[in-house]
Amino acid sequence: MATDRGKKWSQEVTETSNALDLDAGVFALEDPREIARSLKRSAEKSRRRKATPFRSAMSMLSFYINRAGKQLPDVQRARLEDAKDELRALFGKPRKNAPRKMK
């Protein structure tokens, strides 16, 4: 679904989110730790967010990954998934467990 200006609504949310002011190109960075650091800085600096800094940063990262969908190259998707673990580490949160295999 596109707005009057021809942008997809998800792009508009990313650019004008009331939760965080992101550094330009944050999701294109090569280092997952740098992505996480940038998101952490943005989340801690923001006074407009409704959730904790960790939840706001993780939400924005997940939102980007989910909205990119199949358009996101596997290498970049892996980098962003690694950034989630880095973000958890920076905020002192436990890492997510790998999915369990069903017997």
- Condensed to tens digits (0 to 9), the pLDDT of residues 40-70 reads 999 999 887 788 999 999 998 998 899 888 8
Q: Phi and psi for 82 in degrees, rounded to 5?
A: -65, -35
The reported pTM is: 0.75
Q: Which two tokens stand for residue 80?
A: 């962003």
Q: How far are the Cα atoms of 62, 85, 95 from residue 49, in angstroms, in the given order?
A: 16, 22, 23
For position 40, what pLDDT does the model report?
A: 95
